[in-house]
Structure 1
Amino acid sequence: MSLVPAGKLVVEAAAGGRAVAAFNIITLEHAEAVVAGAQQAALPVILQLSENAVKFRGGQLLPIARAAAACAEAATVPIGLHLDHVKSTDLLRQAVDAGFSSVMFDAAQLPYAENLEATRSAVDWAHANGLWVEAELGEVGGKDGAAPLDPHAPGARTDPDEARRFVADSGVDALAVAIGSSHAMTSRTASLDHVLLARLAKSVDVPLVLHGSSGLPDTELAAAVAGGIRKVNIGTALNLAMTEAIRTHLTPADPRPYLAAARTAMAATAAAMITALN
């Protein structure tokens, strides 16, 4: 099984009417936990590293990327490796040598025309170098500590007609859509616009991606998959599990007990959310 192209996992999920879970990792314990959770659920998963996670690691992509790849290669289920929320073209150009098969290029904060121009340029380079590309249209709020967008604010929802044009003109392989979720939610109380999701699923012919999924209850996750979401991004749920376990098991002199507890808690969270999607 081991390391496989992340785009292949999304395409296979789409063909089967399913979704693949994609977890944002920060530490080695994150990667180990997600792989353990996927093996417990006996289902594929994607390990994601965001540009923010790379910044946290001193701007060094290779150490954590190589560690994540090693975890994937030892797994008994298929694991993809994806570079997430990339805004820096310098980081984008490091993806191939670091072992990534796919990237999410994020210019969603720009006006439509600028988003399209920047994304099309990124897609041209990425495809020429064998990378599968996800982009975002509309804006999923809560990034970088920002407050969630008002549901009725301009750009807070993805327009189906714009989505059709954007996919055709940019050449992206998958599209992240804004349908009511928000990054960094610490309670599972969000609800999605399923009517809009249905319109988007009919409007574009590439897999749809849901960001900010930690704030959704299991019923909403299942409904999103039934409505056409094929990749589900999860990050905060892992961090909540990790932090609570560390608080409970914190010891003054040895990090191993609390890191082991954190890894176990994150693995249980990953397994539960992977199962909820399927």
Structure 2
Amino acid sequence: MPLVDAGGLLTAARARGGAVAAFNVITLEHVEAVLEGAGRAGAPVILQISENAVRYRRDDPLPLARAATAAAEAADAPAALHLDHVRDPELLRRAAEAGCSSVMVDAAHLPYRDNLAACAAAARWARANGLWIEAELGVVGGKAGEPPPDPHHPAARTDPEAARAFTAASGVDALAVAIGSRHAMTNRAAALDHRLLVRLAARVPVPLVLHGSSGVPEDELVAAVRGGITKVNIGTALNVALTAGVRAALADDPEVVDPRRWLAGGRSAMAATAARLAALVHHPPTATAGGAATTPDG
């Protein structure tokens, strides 16, 4: 089906108390795997192309974006296209051309006033062009080789009152918050501050976003969605699955040279990961009286 609007997906997810899984894609295999997984899960997804992925694709967002658009048209599950972690203003303004319905402005590394100014300007531009803008407040480290900060240091956490004021002043449509996750984690050991999340959800009127979700255990992800997270960003988990699948295929047949034969296993592994995580956040399990979890039908 044609690409859908990311804002509509997030608004609907928030209304029903669930979330949308947003997967960072780098290759066509990523795109195909995410869409296959979404179809299996019966869940909508957001395909995310980051500024780093654009740089890898020789500074042009269009080839991957147009491939994603074509793949989504042939898919069963609703999918939106999002431009992620954008610092370059010129790239930001190519979002609509690329078919994106939302953009994440990456300015949280700047001082508060500069972050606010950058996001407010982006929000004004986005509103005039029919796009949603996501911002970030707090420190979710580990991006692009940055040394990871301590995600549990008070200075790294998003303050609820600052988040309320930032959202109101900037006019952004979604806010990524720092509650204990970190980008690029290959082990699932992040511990989230759920009490802080409850306070943030009570103060911030727009959908909340969790970055660095690949490092968050599944029970923590479920609790985060139940606590108010509406968009769950996932990237490294796909890459872990892809790499493991490729390594296994090459180990099984060291003489193979046809990339289709070793990429297929990686794509299948990513599809399984995408299906599991998309279903998990779309219909987060509920706790029974005995403490076990049950998953709603659908």
Question: SS of 1:85's equivalent?
Answer: strand
Percent identity over the alignment?
64
CA distance, structure 1, for counterparts of residue 217 and residue 262 of structure 2: 27
Amino acid in structure 2 at the alignment position of 1:276: L
Amino acid in structure 2 at the alignment position of 1:134: E
Equivalent pair of 1:2/1:77 in contact (CA under 8 Å): no
What pairs up with 1:43-58 in 2 under 5 angstroms? 43-58=43-58
TM-score by length of 1: 0.98
When the two chains are superposed, the root-mean-square deviation of aligned CA atoms in Å is: 1.0
1:195 match:
195
Return closer, same or farther for 1:160/1:26 CA change in 2, 3 Å cut-off: same
Q: How far does the alpha carbon of each residue in 1:144-185 deviate from its partner, in whole angstroms, 9 at most, with x for none? A: 112321135464100001000000000000000000000000
1:80 match:
80
CA distance, structure 1, for counterparts of residue 105 and residue 154 of structure 2: 21
Q: How far does the alpha carbon of each residue in 1:104-157 deviate from its partner, in whole angstroms, 9 at most, with x for none? A: 011000011110011111111111111111000001011111232113546410
Q: Do residues 162 (structure 1) and 162 (structure 2) align?
A: yes
1:266 match:
270
Question: SS of 1:144's equivalent?
Answer: helix
2:7 match:
7
Amino acid in structure 2 at the alignment position of 1:197: L
CA distance, structure 1, for counterparts of residue 83 and residue 130 of structure 2: 14
Equivalent pair of 2:37/2:273 in contact (CA under 8 Å): yes
2:184 match:
184
Extract unaligned runs of 5+ from structure 1.
none
Aligned residues: 278
Equivalent pair of 1:179/1:197 in contact (CA under 8 Å): yes
Equivalent pair of 1:41/1:274 in contact (CA under 8 Å): yes
Question: SS of 2:10's equivalent?
Answer: helix
Extract unaligned runs of 5+ from structure 2.
284-298
CA distance, structure 2, for counterparts of residue 81 and residue 152 of structure 1: 31
Question: SS of 1:121's equivalent?
Answer: helix
Question: 1:243: Cα distance to partner?
Answer: 0.4
1:275 match:
279
CA distance, structure 2, for counterparts of residue 70 and residue 51 of structure 1: 21
Question: SS of 2:156's equivalent?
Answer: coil
Q: How far does the alpha carbon of each residue in 1:194-224 deviate from its partner, in whole angstroms, 9 at most, with x for none? A: 0000000001100000000000111000000
CA distance, structure 2, for counterparts of residue 126 and residue 275 of structure 1: 30
CA distance, structure 2, for counterparts of residue 149 and residue 107 of structure 1: 17
Equivalent pair of 1:9/1:20 in contact (CA under 8 Å): yes
Question: 1:2: Cα distance to partner?
Answer: 3.7
Equivalent pair of 2:151/2:182 in contact (CA under 8 Å): no
Equivalent pair of 1:246/1:259 in contact (CA under 8 Å): yes
CA distance, structure 2, for counterparts of residue 186 and residue 214 of structure 1: 7
TM-score by length of 2: 0.91
